[in-house]
Structure 1
């Protein structure tokens, strides 16, 4: 069985110091310097950690999480960090070299997706015609778009904070519980919204949405591409146009991080609605937090699907 997150020797040394009553490193008396890969993790870290953490997200929400190119400032941030929170599952392929080059032997790397049931390959898209076949071999990494998965990821985060800063562990657990209640309230609202929509088939720009679709009872009938940044063939575009017309699909889901040219072609040729949703908090106005992003995505999509 894999451990819920990777723990460096320095983290164990800190725990031992605390247990034995030895002096605690100076950084433990200040807000924990935390670096995260995507904005969703930043929001969660701040919700759980409160005033006891100082969090920097490497990605702002406007870039693609797949093709991000680290900057020199990212390396500097990692050298000063105690924790690095990542999703894992091959989402942040650029992280490993960044960690190695930081030379930070005391960095605690937390993989927040551990223990989540992954959607493998195309299992959520049976019968879908695809332009490419370039899925993550470990499974689809966009796990946070299912609020049940988000709760698992937040628990890993709270575990890590409690390990590194046990003096505030009780507060971290209280914050976690309070925040999870907010997620559950929003999840119940969105579940009811989608329950009232009889037609739930969609075309998606790229496969960021299978966990969201599975949670809220949607069917992904097709994908424009299976790799962010790729371009579909003319033949595949014609296949999608035919499928939209044949099955009377009403909505194409695109993303602000991707080129809107092909969704616009599909809309022009078939009359399908293009709804721009964001898999990353901060990707659209009014989506700065996870709850805002999840609520925006769910309400916008449910409204579009309900239109005649």
Structure 2
């Protein structure tokens, strides 16, 4: 796996029958990361690689052995030129599909343990279902349901809980926003009284603070990657609960 959240979902399915690992460490930018030689060497022993999209983490394939089975969580539509938003793990409801996809992939390469993987999948899906209910409750009575996102990462979360993204400053695959797009975001925020700007946990926020001052809003840091060494984001369920609690508090 490339990112920690997908890895954490996988290890709940694998149990002690497989040994997953993730490539991109906490705090790194998945879009620009290059693995250390030690990680590249470890990738040469992989038998199953589960990526998100070819555009997002397909670069890992060049480090894999020929024998490795390759699976992607998002497959492009035939004939489509649109680049899919890769951040599906930031939706608990999509995470249920991720878990099922991982289980199917494991069954393909390790048929002897199909029953084991399916049992683990069922148990983990129950946990995700409870998490989904908890998060839905957090957003049920917020004063506002709209926010601006700096990076195009939170679309899936917003869709799950009927939240509105009032603007995206930096689109997927784009280095910077145009002056015109920033003006449109500011105008909409003022018109609709949007007061929350979401940025990544480790992002430079100088520009976001300028925008927040313009709309009389606040900057909120969410974590799209997680951190196995943190107390509150050390697994997927904790990560999503942290993000939901942080965003819901800002929207109240």
User: Once the two structures are superposed, what CA deviation does each residue of 1:178-203 show, in whole Å capped at 9, x if it has no partner?
Assistant: 11111100101111221212421110
Give the superposition deviation at 1:234: 4.8
Structure 2 residue 245 is matched with structure 1 residue 299: yes
Query: Bigger radius of gyration, 1 or 2?
Result: 1
Q: CA offset at residue 146 of structure 1?
A: 1.7
Bigger mean CA deviation after superposition, 57-66 or 238-247: 238-247
Question: Structure 2: any 5+ residue segments left out of the alignment?
Answer: none
User: Does the CA-based 8 Å contact 1:64-1:228 persist in structure 2?
Assistant: no
Moved over 6 A (4+): none
Given the superposition, is the C-alpha separation of residues 168 and 105 from structure 1 closer, same or farther in structure 2, using an over 3 Å criterion?
Answer: same
3-state DSSP class of the match of 2:16? Answer: helix
Asked if the contact 1:228/1:258 (under 8 Å) is kept, the reply is no
Q: Which residue of 2 aligns with 1:72?
A: 37
CA drift at 1:140 = 1.4
Sort the Cα spacing of 1:236 and 1:114 in 2 relative to 1 into closer, same or farther, 3 A: closer
Counterpart position of 1:55: 20
**What is aligned with 1:276?**
221
Indicate yes or no: 2:106 matched with 1:106.
no
Offset, 1:94: 2.2
CA distance in 1, matches of 2:108, 2:89: 23
Alignment of 1:141-290 (within 5 A): 141-227=86-172, 230-234=175-179, 236-282=181-227, 285=230, 286-290=232-236
Paired residues of 2:92 and 2:131 also in contact (CA < 8 A): no
CA distance in 1, matches of 2:136, 2:35: 37
Taking the aligned partners of 2:171 and 2:206, their CA distance within structure 1 comes to 16
Q: What's the CA shift string for 1:152-180, capped at 9, x where partnerless?
A: 11111111222222222211111111111
Name the stretch that deviates more: 81-90 or 227-236: 227-236
Asked if the contact 1:49–1:172 (Cα under 8 Å) also holds between the matched residues in 2, the reply is: yes
Distance 1:61 1:81, change over 3 A: same
Deviations 1:180-230 (A, max 9, x none): 111100101111221212421110011111111111101111111114782
**Deviation string, structure 1 residues 3-33 (Cα, Å, up to 9, x no partner):** xxxxxxxxxxxxxxxxxxxxxxxxxxxxxxx
SS in structure 1 at match of 2:166 = strand
Gaps of 5+ in 1: 1-35, 121-135
Structure 1 distance, partners of 2:112, 2:152, is 41
The CA distance in 2 between the partners of 1:93 and 1:66, in whole Å, is 11
- Given that 1:87 and 1:141 are in contact with CA atoms closer than 8 Å, whether structure 2 keeps it comes out as yes
Residue-pair matches, total: 249
Change (3 A) 1:57 1:223: same
Q: Is the 8 A contact 1:158 1:172 kept in 2?
A: yes
Q: Counterparts of 2:180 and 2:73 in 1: how far apart (Å)? A: 39
**What SS does structure 1 have at the residue aligned with 2:19?**
strand
Q: CA separation in 1, counterparts of 2:141 and 2:46?
A: 46
